[in-house]
Amino acid sequence: EVQLVESGGGLVQPGGSLRLSCPASGFLFSSYWMSWVRQAPGKGLEWVANINPDGSEKHYVDSVKGRFTISRDNAKNSLYLQMNSLSAEDTAMYYCGRVWQWLCDSWGQGTLVTVSS
């Protein structure tokens, strides 16, 4: 069974940083693209970033380029999202997901990031 468990969310001040983690199990992590998707409170889904199996190819939504960095550690079966220069617009539930045929077929339960002073 695929398991993805996000952690690292919390309350952070505007301009601050946060690092999300997503350890994975139940599948061969090093063979899959992985993704982060977020959802602001009461709003729809927004794709954030994808990363290829060896970490050499990364893609981001324009609104986070230069501020967020997706990475992975295949030895630890873990996905990460380093978030810098956070603003209120980044407040959301952040989900990590396994990518299959260029879409997300398995999701974690999410971790909530709140940016507020």
Partner 1 sequence: DIQMTQSPSTLSASVGDRVTITCRASQSISSWLAWYQQKPGKAPKLLIYQASSLESGVPSRFSGSGSGTEFTLTISSLQPDDFATYYCQHYDRYSWTFGQGTKVEMK
Binding site for partner 1 (CB under 8 A): 35, 37, 44-47, 50, 59, 61-62, 95, 101-105, 107-110
Residue 52 or residue 82: which is nearer to partner 1 going by CB?
Answer: 52
Least distance in angstroms from the C-beta of 107 to partner 1 = 4
Residue 50 or residue 91: which is nearer to partner 1 going by CB?
Answer: 50
Q: Report the relative pairing of strands 10-12 and 111-115 from DSSP bridges.
A: parallel
Residue 16 or residue 112: which is nearer to partner 1 going by CB?
Answer: 112
**Distance from C-alpha of 77 to C-alpha of 72, rounded to nearest angstrom:** 8
Least distance in angstroms from the C-beta of 46 to partner 1 = 7
Contact (Cβ atoms closer than 8 angstroms) between residue 107 and residue 99? no
Q: Strands (DSSP E) along 1-117, which ranges?
A: 3-4, 10-12, 18-25, 34-39, 45-51, 58-60, 68-73, 78-83, 92-100, 103-107, 111-115
Least distance in angstroms from the C-beta of 111 to partner 1 = 11
Least distance in angstroms from the C-beta of 19 to partner 1 = 21
Residue 17 or residue 103: which is nearer to partner 1 going by CB?
Answer: 103
Among the listed residues 74, 89, 100, the one whose alpha carbon sits nearest the alpha carbon of residue 22: 74
